[in-house]
Amino acid sequence: MMNTGITGDLIEVLFVLILGTAAFVITQRALRSLFTLYTIQSVILAAIAVVLFAEHRTVSLLFIALLTLVIKGFVIPAFLRRTLVVLPSKRDIEFSYLTPASSILLSAVLLFIVYTSFSNVAEVLFSDRLFFLGGVIGVSLALMGMMVIFSRKKVVSKIVGYLTMENGVLLFGLFIAEMPFIIEVLIVIDLFMLIVLSTIMAFGIDSSIEAFHKKLTQLGMRFED
């Protein structure tokens, strides 16, 4: 059982930092900073898993931390950054349906709704206040990611929205529904394939096959003619 000592305090600080990064993911326009924010968010998630491991001594938590750190902290951001080479503009200034200001307001409302709906079942479901907190922030993060997906127009930033959503699911999984480690691995593999496919789609969808091959070569992929 989680005690409310230094571990609990540390996790709360990390929660606060995650919420901070979420706010900036919604409003940031420069793509490079958007990717950096995602990296920071993933590293914080890995840190939460490590702190939880220190408390519970469940080895799978350590593996989750390692997996998150390597894949989401290094590999996916590196892949995303490589796409910047091909992209004509380095900023995403197009928004549909919601301006950044209104999506920020909406996500505050979402957080509050999630909080009120969770607090109805809090007594039954959560043995610990911290788990309740983790659940609420996890679901809110997933919803904020979803909002990024539909309010951004560029595919690359939609991908970051999807990744944020997955981070929210991971956070929820860490605190509420303990997923078996193998499922966690499969999710990450899925995620990675999705990133590869959707970045390729993002460049290829508006070009001819020849031009598409040229673009992919720039991305570092070789094709036999």
Partner 1 sequence: MNWNTAVYIVMNPLFALVLSPLVLGLIKTVKARIQGRPGPPVLQQYYQLRKLFHKEIVYSEDSSFIVRLGPYLGIAFMLTASLFVPMVFIPQTGWFGNIILFFYLMITAKFFMVLGGLDAGSTFGGMGSSREMTVSSIIEPVTIMSCAALAFVLKTTSIPEMFRTLLAGSIFSYPTLILVGISLFIILIVESARVPVDNPETHLELTMIHEAMILEQSGPKLALVELASGVRQTVLMALLINVTFPWGLAGLAGCASLLLAAVTMAVKMLILAATVGLFESLLAKIRFFRLPDFFMIALFLSFITIVFELLR
**Site of interaction with partner 1 (CB under 8 A):** 6, 9-10, 12-13, 15-17, 19-20, 23-24, 27, 99-101, 104-105, 107-108, 111-112, 115, 129, 132-133, 136
Q: How far is the CB of 16 from partner 1 (least distance, A)?
A: 5
Least distance in angstroms from the C-beta of 198 to partner 1 = 26
How near is the Cβ of 100 to partner 1 at its closest, in Å?
5
- Alpha carbons 61 and 69: distance in angstroms, whole number: 12
> Which two tokens mark 160?
């970051």
Identity of the amino acid at 43: V
Cβ 9 to partner 1 shortest distance, Å: 4
Tokens at 213, concatenated? 């091959």
For partner 1, give the closer residue by CB, 16 or 186: 16
| Minimum separation from the CB atom of position 14 to partner 1 (A) | 8
Closest approach of Cβ 73 to partner 1, in Å?
21
Q: What tokens were used for 2?
A: 């989680």
Phi, psi at 128, each rounded to 5°: -135, 145
Distance between CA 198 and CA 177 in Å, rounded?
29
Which residue, 104 or 200, has its beta carbon nearer to partner 1?
104
Q: Name which of 8 and 204 has its Cβ closer to partner 1.
A: 8
Q: Which is nearer to partner 1, 6 or 183 (CB)?
A: 6
Residue written as token pair 């990611």: 145
Number of continuous H segments (helices) and E segments (strands) in the chain: 9, 0
The number of C-alpha atoms within 13 Å of 158 and in the hemisphere containing its C-beta is 15
Q: Can you tell me the distance from the alpha carbon of 171 to that of 168, in angstroms, rounded to the nearest whole number?
A: 5
CA distance 1 to 182: 24
CB of 85 to partner 1, least distance (A): 23
Tokens encoding 17: 């930092």
For partner 1, the closer of residues 15 and 172 by Cβ is 15
All residues at 6 or more sequence positions from 181 whose CB lies less than 8 Å from its CB, including other chains: 60, 63, 64
CB of 114 or CB of 188, closer to partner 1: 114
Please say which residue, 101 or 183, places its beta carbon nearer to partner 1.
101
